[in-house]
Structure 1
Amino acid sequence: MKEYCSEYRNYLRFQKAVSQNTLDSYTRDIDHFLDFVIIKKLKGPEQVTASIMEEYVQSLTDRQCSISTITRNMASIRGFYQFLILNGKTLQNPAKAIRLEKAQKKLPQILSGEEIELLFAQPNISEAKGCRDKAMLELLYATGIRVSELVELNVTDINLHTAMLCCNRNGKTERMIPIYSTAIAAVSDYLFRVRGMMIGPEGGQALFTNLNGRRLTRQGFWKIIKGYAEQAKITKEITPHTLRHSFALHLLENGASLKDIQMMLGHADISSTQVYVQLMNDHFKEVYNHCHPKAKLGAG
């Protein structure tokens, strides 16, 4: 039965060209689901009914999985069944009958300009690691790219002379993003002074490598930014996307159009970009209530 999971993984990797993170997440969800099918003593996923699927959802609830985790699991399973139907393994998709409570969307945390400067002041650029880390932080905030896109960058993707970054993740639509001068300076310092010492035989053309000389991973960067946030005593919840969200909101606050921000972020649908309008409105409301004399009186 587990061969279905292997076939689906190959389908996602070679035909759908999903990112490594998405591939791992979907595979893990399907693997857990097939474990449940085996426990139920079914011969295969084609024997799963809507009622059995409801039992599986209940089992996730019993394990205290969040609504967002259960929703992601069901999305993975729906896609898996579409693959099975496409390949003649089954005729129905029992996951389609499941209706879940909608998870409340949590607005992302945004760093202020002062917090950005504080975070960027933490790496010790006299050391190789600190020089690399400063370059990565500056480049993320300069371009708004995803952390998964950052670690996939090659040396040839950045043009120091034109101050432009070419982001072409998984062969999808190419994005050309400008880079501000201090970020270019930080990346140049890393490239000409440090990268040659850090890169190993397995690093290839990777722009950023770990201390073992291999291409840096998303998890590796996550540990780095968390460490600097703690060092800077920033109490906000920091995620791998924090600098991406801050990039977008700060552009919007300073007059950039949603369409331009959408293009730079690589959002397929502008509705994904519109969350920053809500964030900006919430921010302005907070400033108003804190600063307007009449609003302050009302709050008392």
Structure 2
Amino acid sequence: MKKVNTLMMLVQGFFQNYLVVDRGLSQNTVMAYRDTLKLFFAFECSRQKKSITKLVLDDVNADAILLFLNQLESKRNNSIVTRNLRLAALKTFSLFLTTKDVERSGEYQRIMALPLKKAPHKVIDYLEVSEIKSIIDGFNFENRNDQRDQVLLNLLYNTGARVQEICDLTVNSITFGRLPVVTLVGKGNKTRMVPIWQDTANLLMSYLRKNQILDQPEVSIFLKTL
């Protein structure tokens, strides 16, 4: 079997079996790994002036990955955090390859030994309660998109959830009643239930009714456009 076929077959196995079946990673994590490999392969194709079908296992090496990481910062203006996330994905891919391509296990060990780049620690800015209230109250609740954005910001402020966690919410993620709660699914598909204020619950109820999705449990709460 040619190496070019071996690389592509291993990439397929990495996504279809290793990440999903063996590791049980979330869809968002798998998508992030997919984007990393797409960027790395595109970089290698451009650098070596060859098509992706000509890439082989030898092209997955520590020197190439270092060049790739450096151009993420210099050419794509990615942050150090993004650089480190890309490296983490490539390390996971290399760990997978060590069990499939034993002859090159030494090179994969070199990749896994690449250090994360230290990022400066910044003091996190924050808004005062009055400033947050001013932003939230600035929406026109009669406008459907404004209503959506107001409810979204209320939930972010109320729950402290990550943006992706809020975007992933469906109607059945909300439990109304005397003690309303929202069920969030975070990294690694870890689920947690977070209480929400009655005012937030009332806004949500009004929003769901206005958009006629209250009785559609699997529908995403926050649609891109309304």
Determine if the TM-score, normalized by the shorter chain, exceeds 0.5. Answer: yes
* Structure 2 residue aligned with 1:8: 14
CA deviation profile, 1:230-287 (whole Å, cap 9, x unmatched): xxxxxxxxxxxxxxxxxxxxxxxxxxxxxxxxxxxxxxxxxxxxxxxxxxxxxxxxxx
Letter of the 1:209 partner, please give it: L
Contact 1:131 / 1:189 at 8 angstroms: preserved in 2?
no
Letter of the 2:224 partner, please give it: N
Letter of the 1:181 partner, please give it: Q
Structure-1-length-normalised TM-score: 0.58
- Secondary structure of 1:166's counterpart equals strand
Letter of the 2:220 partner, please give it: A
CA deviation profile, 1:77-131 (whole Å, cap 9, x unmatched): 1111112224446524231232354111334332210111011012211222222
CA deviation profile, 1:3-22 (whole Å, cap 9, x unmatched): 544443334345433242x3
Provide the C-alpha distance between the structure 2 equivalents of 1:111 and 1:98, rounded to a whole number of angstroms.
38
Matched, 1:17 2:25: yes
The 5 Å alignment of 1:141-160 reads: 141-160=157-176
CA deviation profile, 1:41-78 (whole Å, cap 9, x unmatched): 78523454444444444444552554333322221211
* Structure 1 residue aligned with 2:92: 79
- State which of 185, 188, 198 in structure 1 corresponds to 2:202: 185
Provide the C-alpha distance between the structure 1 equivalents of 2:187 and 2:120, rounded to a whole number of angstroms.
30
- State which of 129, 146, 164 in structure 2 corresponds to 1:113: 129
Letter of the 1:68 partner, please give it: V
Letter of the 1:44 partner, please give it: V
- Secondary structure of 1:176's counterpart equals strand
Provide the C-alpha distance between the structure 2 equivalents of 1:133 and 1:65, rounded to a whole number of angstroms.
28
Provide the C-alpha distance between the structure 1 equivalents of 2:66 and 2:187, rounded to a whole number of angstroms.
35
- State which of 117, 123, 128 in structure 1 corresponds to 2:144: 128
Contact 2:95 / 2:112 at 8 angstroms: preserved in 1?
no
Q: Percent identity?
A: 23
* Structure 2 residue aligned with 1:103: 119
Provide the C-alpha distance between the structure 2 equivalents of 1:149 and 1:123, rounded to a whole number of angstroms.
22
Name the stretch that deviates more: 140-149 or 93-102. 93-102
- Secondary structure of 1:116's counterpart equals helix
Contact 1:37 / 1:44 at 8 angstroms: preserved in 2?
no
Provide the C-alpha distance between the structure 1 equivalents of 2:67 and 2:148, rounded to a whole number of angstroms.
49
Q: Which runs of 5+ in 1 are unaligned?
A: 213-300
The 5 Å alignment of 1:190-229 reads: 190-192=207-209, 194-196=210-212, 204-211=218-225
Provide the C-alpha distance between the structure 2 equivalents of 1:65 and 1:170, rounded to a whole number of angstroms.
22
Q: Which runs of 5+ in 2 are unaligned?
A: 1-6
* Structure 2 residue aligned with 1:215: none
Provide the C-alpha distance between the structure 1 equivalents of 2:151 and 2:73, rounded to a whole number of angstroms.
42
Letter of the 2:119 partner, please give it: A
Provide the C-alpha distance between the structure 2 equivalents of 1:133 and 1:8, rounded to a whole number of angstroms.
38
Structure-2-length-normalised TM-score: 0.74
- Secondary structure of 2:105's counterpart equals coil
Matched, 1:69 2:82: yes
Contact 1:34 / 1:45 at 8 angstroms: preserved in 2?
no
- Secondary structure of 1:91's counterpart equals helix
* 1:149 Cα offset (Å): 1.4
Name the stretch that deviates more: 150-159 or 43-52. 43-52
Letter of the 1:45 partner, please give it: L
Provide the C-alpha distance between the structure 2 equivalents of 1:156 and 1:5, rounded to a whole number of angstroms.
36
Letter of the 1:28 partner, please give it: D
Change (3 A) 1:126 1:37: closer
Give the number of equivalent residue pairs: 207
Displacement over 6 Å in runs of 4+: none
- Secondary structure of 2:161's counterpart equals coil
* Structure 2 residue aligned with 1:137: 153
- Secondary structure of 2:25's counterpart equals coil
- Secondary structure of 1:165's counterpart equals strand
Contact 1:2 / 1:34 at 8 angstroms: preserved in 2?
no
Provide the C-alpha distance between the structure 2 equivalents of 1:131 and 1:65, rounded to a whole number of angstroms.
33
